[in-house]
Structure 1
Amino acid sequence: MKLYIAEKPSLGRAIANALPKPHKNNDGFIEAANGDIVTWCIGHLLEQAEPEAYDPKFKKWAIADLPIVPEQWQLVAKSKTKKQFNTVKKLIKSAETIVNAGDPDREGQLLIDEMINFCGATKAQKEQTLRCLISDLNPSAVKQAINNLKPNLDFLSLSVSALSRARADWLYGINMTRMSTIKGQQAGYQGVLSIGRVQTPVLGLVVYRDWEIANFVSKPFYEVEAKLNTQAGASYIGKWQPSDACQPYMDEEGRVLVKGLAENVASRVKNQSGEVSKDKSTQSKKSRPLPHSLSTLQIEAAKVFGMNAQSVLDTCQSLYERHKLITYPRSDCRYLPKDHYKERGSVVDAIDTISDKLSAFTGKANLEIKSSAWNDSKVGAHHAIIPTSKKSSGALSQNEQNVYYLIARHYLAQFFEPSVYAEREIHTLIQGGLFTSKFKSLIDKGWEVLFNKQEKGEAELTQLPMLQKGEQVQCVDAQVIEKHTSPPKHFTDATLLAAMTGIARYVTDPEIKKILKETDGIGTEATRAGIIELLFKRQYLQRKGKAIHSTEIGQSVIKALPESVGRPDMTAVWEQSLEQIYQKSQSYNQFMGSVEVHLNRLLQDTQTASFQGLAGKGKASFKRFKKGKRSAGKGKSAVKSPRAKSKA
């Protein structure tokens, strides 16, 4: 008997639908006509054991007991899904061949592997276990995946990477949350101070941005614009480009801060003749955008439709599991396998049927074009999110229509030519000063026909006169334009997600910044939305319109903790290490050893930190806290555990 273990019931049913009929539906599994069985987890059937499972004394939170580091890690079956756990366990024991059909990502790999190991599979069963990678729930795609099973051992490093992440997050979250909570309560805070190796740096991004805005002092800077007349009577505007000699009077962004310098330039060039030193016309092509990953989809949906990250993820899950209109959504990849190219016709036909906004363009798509999106070397465990070939959708909600439209639009763009721009640049020399004039115009929309101007926010540009190199012009006027520096903007869902994926911009250490430019940021495609929502739930963040602000509690937490806890440097390096474990260039023991060393240092720093800013804040969420059950023995603080679980 071949046993397929899916991550969720919806995936299990999709697998069963691709197996020989008739089927026999049982409690927690489906049996196919050929004897194969499909069962499923309900998300995680197992979870990390609580600290008190290792030692009853850990039920009380005491600084003296930290750090808590298990010698032998333990998993326990979740009580809410114990019935399904027992079903899967029984089936594993009787299976001839096991197929890991977890979602095609790091967590999906580990989730099923843990069940196989925990439920007592034999060594032979483990060695013969197969892997089924399904990213499209439509019957033809599922059958193709079932016919292309791979050895599960080929994905061992992916599972080890996920295990490393889960255990490191447990160590960090449990220990730092306990230390911070005890210290906070000693200072008069009510409740639990949840700390996580991803959530706290994300909170830090918002807090530091809010502080930067609050403390921002606008400074004036100055530009010089010259009005230039040609001998033929045409006119154009040139903008002064400060030379290297002006560097002492400029900021790091190249803005002139001394008004007298700008005024001197304006007076020197006014009513003076100049000469055209360059007049260059070129054409440039703008490549079509790649298909979406989850993060890029969430960012675009926030910009175009104002959807938050969690809403986009939930909508994607519905489009994937319920409607089967898109491929696996929790993807960090923007490329497609070359084999998918042969399905382009049926996918475009499906888009024509389902999306009213795009049906006017499907007939114009050139299906002979093969963009750079089809690249096997850049596809890992999963590929970009694209529409499936399914044409019948049933009724879609407004959110489902909007998200499908964004996914389908990026896919359809692959079959349109690049857009073409005419670019013009004029350099004019006046009294030794350089003035530039630039023009850019869209002359062939290409793929941009799918993207309207309102979404792109393009500005109208003014045409420049035709000139010749060496031509003489006259500066008839020169003006000093005073502008003021603006504070950075508050984060929104879109910009916070972009910050998490492009975290290198917010890293202070230059060496780490250099390394992290090659990584995918902090958190994963599957967890980023949940992390953001978790910060709102814990009253660390709040929304004001589209803007995301930190609360007093959130700011007090970052202020109290060691600075490194609220910065992304550490967690970004962790993400790189987890990728190295997957690529087999770093071991589990190396990574976990470094985590323990760093954790010890952070706990020491947190113990000596001041949490006085949290006095009087918070609200006890658990009766045990309301009763004031705290104890302190021999100078060591201890509190009753609220059994609050810390997440990344």
Structure 2
Amino acid sequence: DREGQLLVDEVLDYLKLSAQRKKEVRRLLISDLNPSAVSQALGRMRSNQEYVPLAVSALARSRADWLYGINLTRACTLLGRKVGFNGLLSIGRVQTPILGLVARRDEDIENFQPKPYFEVFATLLTAKDERFKAKWIPSEACQNWMDEDGRVLDRRLAQNVVDRIIGQQGTVRRVEDKRGKETPPLPYSLSALQIDAARQLRMDAKKVLDSCQRLYEQKLVTYPRSDCRYLPEEHFSQAPEVLATIRSNIFSLSKAVDNALPERKSSAWNDKKVGAHHAIIPTSLRIDLERLPELDRKLYELIARQYVVQFYPDHTFRKRVIDVEIEKGLFRASSRQTVEEGWKGLITSGKSDQRPGDDESNEGNVFLPELAKGDVLDCPEAELKEKLTQPPKPFNDATLLSAMTGIARFVQDKNIRKILRETDGLGTEATRANIIELL
């Protein structure tokens, strides 16, 4: 949109329109190619003056590309020739940082040396013969034997903990019960769609963009190059029609649509967060999807499913954390159990997420027993687990896109990181796929 805004504004400047005539120019924003949607867009055109900042942004980027990209490409190419490299060394404001990110990751993998580290798990027994496991949480006194990630590197230290606690009693120091919820994921922007399609459909970013463009041209989805994950509030009134279309077009989602709550308004509908284009969603056009290529059909279903979950309840769960002191050492157990599946029944396969906590303190889908502060537990067993540190994983389309949209986390300078957190990351929705393809 920024580049398109600058392109048209440059035409207006070339035509030497007066300031008064420029004020009369209005901009038509079309996100849906169906006639009814185009007609609505014609009725809400806005003054072109409102979009001046977009043109200024595009102009700044084009000048940066000239100063940074063209000049450094020439400089690096000439330097390359001095050392015998006769090819072109292309430098780009976006492509070069991404290339550096990938090169650094490959270097980290190549130079990685695995190190053993040790975890201790205590088996605890309640007065009612209920068993669960708790993981040792090293104290500050153990810092000299730990790495920067808090992992114990000394086997003797971990073995000493095991020997000390076997056959001893522990006291419950804290019991925390919490109810939590996860709201439905927002509808897709292009990058979010590319990430999910890479993970679920094994589609690379360029194929997703091309497929989404075809779906748009066939009037099946809205504008595909959107960087927004929100929807205009006025679109909420169209939800029943869009849901009915999804039911008609995708048999596998018909039951999901029947169980949806059309009156439920998720956080996706928010005018304040909608830019030039809203999130990618299905249109109200009904069609026989068998006419589409397989990948287009699967991508349409992915977009449709993400829309349907907006009308499902939150996923709710309860989480319990128990801290136990044994021989002056702290051991922690946690577990989580689904209360209401909600929208996760559509995104996952409907399986319960009842599981132990992130500390892996419990094996199997066991929710921790009812305990109170001060309760005394027996520790009949303890286990020392040796693990190896793992190298970082190579980038794939999904993780590289995630890195591009969240580039701030790879920057060490606090001031630059703060600035980058307020941006959309490296590249735009329309260019990221091409950059990955180029590299």
Please tell me the TM-score bracket, short chain as reference: over 0.9
- Aligned partners of 2:31 and 2:222 also within 8 Å: yes
Alpha-carbon distance in structure 2 between the residues aligned to 1:119 and 1:191: 41
Task: Report the equivalent of 1:549.
Answer: none
Task: Report the equivalent of 1:353.
Answer: 248
- Aligned partners of 1:325 and 1:393 also within 8 Å: no
So what's the TM-score if we normalise by structure 2? 0.93
Task: Report the equivalent of 1:599.
Answer: none
Task: Report the equivalent of 1:499.
Answer: 403
Alpha-carbon distance in structure 1 between the residues aligned to 2:103 and 2:252: 39
Alpha-carbon distance in structure 1 between the residues aligned to 2:178 and 2:23: 60
Matched, 1:384 2:284: no
CA distance 1:497–1:350, change in 2 (3 Å): same
- Aligned partners of 1:303 and 1:494 also within 8 Å: yes
Alpha-carbon distance in structure 1 between the residues aligned to 2:385 and 2:308: 44
After TM superposition, give the deviation of residue 454 of structure 1 in Å. Answer: 9.6
Matched, 1:482 2:386: yes
Alpha-carbon distance in structure 1 between the residues aligned to 2:351 and 2:175: 32
SS at match of 2:238: helix
- Alignment-mate amino acid for residue 483 of structure 1: K
Task: Report the equivalent of 2:88.
Answer: 192
Alpha-carbon distance in structure 2 between the residues aligned to 1:405 and 1:458: 28
Task: Report the equivalent of 1:282.
Answer: 178
Matched, 1:411 2:307: yes
CA distance 1:195–1:458, change in 2 (3 Å): farther
- Alignment-mate amino acid for residue 367 of structure 1: P
- Aligned partners of 1:286 and 1:418 also within 8 Å: yes
So what's the TM-score if we normalise by structure 1? 0.64
Task: Report the equivalent of 1:111.
Answer: 7
Matched, 1:465 2:369: yes
After TM superposition, give the deviation of residue 276 of structure 1 in Å. Answer: 1.9
- Aligned partners of 2:336 and 2:354 also within 8 Å: no
Task: Report the equivalent of 1:517.
Answer: 421
SS at match of 2:345: helix
SS at match of 1:521: coil
Task: Report the equivalent of 1:586.
Answer: none
Alpha-carbon distance in structure 2 between the residues aligned to 1:401 and 1:358: 13
| Residue segments in structure 1 that go unaligned for 5+ positions in a row | 1-104, 536-648
SS at match of 2:251: coil
Alpha-carbon distance in structure 2 between the residues aligned to 1:377 and 1:118: 34
Alpha-carbon distance in structure 1 between the residues aligned to 2:415 and 2:352: 35
- Aligned partners of 2:136 and 2:330 also within 8 Å: yes
Task: Report the equivalent of 1:367.
Answer: 262
After TM superposition, give the deviation of residue 411 of structure 1 in Å. Answer: 1.1
After TM superposition, give the deviation of residue 453 of structure 1 in Å. Answer: 4.4
Q: Deviations over 1:112-139 (max 9, x none)?
A: 2223333555555433221111111111
Q: Deviations over 1:275-307 (max 9, x none)?
A: 122333332111111111111110000000111
- Aligned partners of 1:355 and 1:401 also within 8 Å: no
SS at match of 1:357: helix
Matched, 1:206 2:102: yes
Alpha-carbon distance in structure 1 between the residues aligned to 2:417 and 2:323: 36
CA RMSD of aligned residues (A): 1.9
Matched, 1:442 2:350: no
CA distance 1:455–1:428, change in 2 (3 Å): closer
Alpha-carbon distance in structure 2 between the residues aligned to 1:455 and 1:232: 30
Alpha-carbon distance in structure 2 between the residues aligned to 1:204 and 1:169: 18
Q: Deviations over 1:622-643 (max 9, x none)?
A: xxxxxxxxxxxxxxxxxxxxxx
Which stretch shifts more, 492-501 or 507-516? 507-516
After TM superposition, give the deviation of residue 312 of structure 1 in Å. Answer: 0.6
Pick the aligned partner of 2:148 from 226, 246, 252.
252
- Aligned partners of 1:349 and 1:391 also within 8 Å: no
After TM superposition, give the deviation of residue 514 of structure 1 in Å. Answer: 2.6
- Alignment-mate amino acid for residue 319 of structure 1: L
After TM superposition, give the deviation of residue 244 of structure 1 in Å. Answer: 2.1
Matched, 1:300 2:196: yes
Matched, 1:526 2:425: no
- Aligned partners of 2:354 and 2:365 also within 8 Å: no
| Residue segments in structure 2 that go unaligned for 5+ positions in a row | 356-363
Matched, 1:218 2:114: yes
Alpha-carbon distance in structure 1 between the residues aligned to 2:251 and 2:91: 45
SS at match of 2:176: strand
Alpha-carbon distance in structure 2 between the residues aligned to 1:393 and 1:112: 38
Alpha-carbon distance in structure 2 between the residues aligned to 1:106 and 1:170: 17
Structure 1 residue ranges (4+ consecutive) displaced by more than 6 angstroms after TM superposition: 454-459
After TM superposition, give the deviation of residue 455 of structure 1 in Å. Answer: 11
- Aligned partners of 2:212 and 2:296 also within 8 Å: yes
- Aligned partners of 1:222 and 1:481 also within 8 Å: yes
- Aligned partners of 2:124 and 2:379 also within 8 Å: yes
SS at match of 1:410: helix
Task: Report the equivalent of 1:428.
Answer: 324
- Aligned partners of 2:189 and 2:280 also within 8 Å: yes
SS at match of 2:252: coil
Q: Is the radius of gyration larger for structure 1 or structure 2?
A: 1
Q: Deviations over 1:563-588 (max 9, x none)?
A: xxxxxxxxxxxxxxxxxxxxxxxxxx
Q: Deviations over 1:516-553 (max 9, x none)?
A: 22221111111111111111xxxxxxxxxxxxxxxxxx
CA distance 1:114–1:127, change in 2 (3 Å): same
- Alignment-mate amino acid for residue 387 of structure 2: K
Alpha-carbon distance in structure 1 between the residues aligned to 2:258 and 2:44: 34
Task: Report the equivalent of 1:242.
Answer: 138
After TM superposition, give the deviation of residue 493 of structure 1 in Å. Answer: 0.2
- Aligned partners of 2:136 and 2:332 also within 8 Å: yes
Task: Report the equivalent of 1:311.
Answer: 207
- Alignment-mate amino acid for residue 258 of structure 2: G
Alpha-carbon distance in structure 1 between the residues aligned to 2:241 and 2:435: 37
- Aligned partners of 2:344 and 2:350 also within 8 Å: no
- Aligned partners of 1:273 and 1:474 also within 8 Å: yes
Q: Deviations over 1:471-503 (max 9, x none)?
A: 211111112211111000000000000000000
- Alignment-mate amino acid for residue 254 of structure 1: G
Q: Deviations over 1:417-472 (max 9, x none)?
A: 00111222222111111111111122311111111249999966323333333221
Task: Report the equivalent of 2:36.
Answer: 140
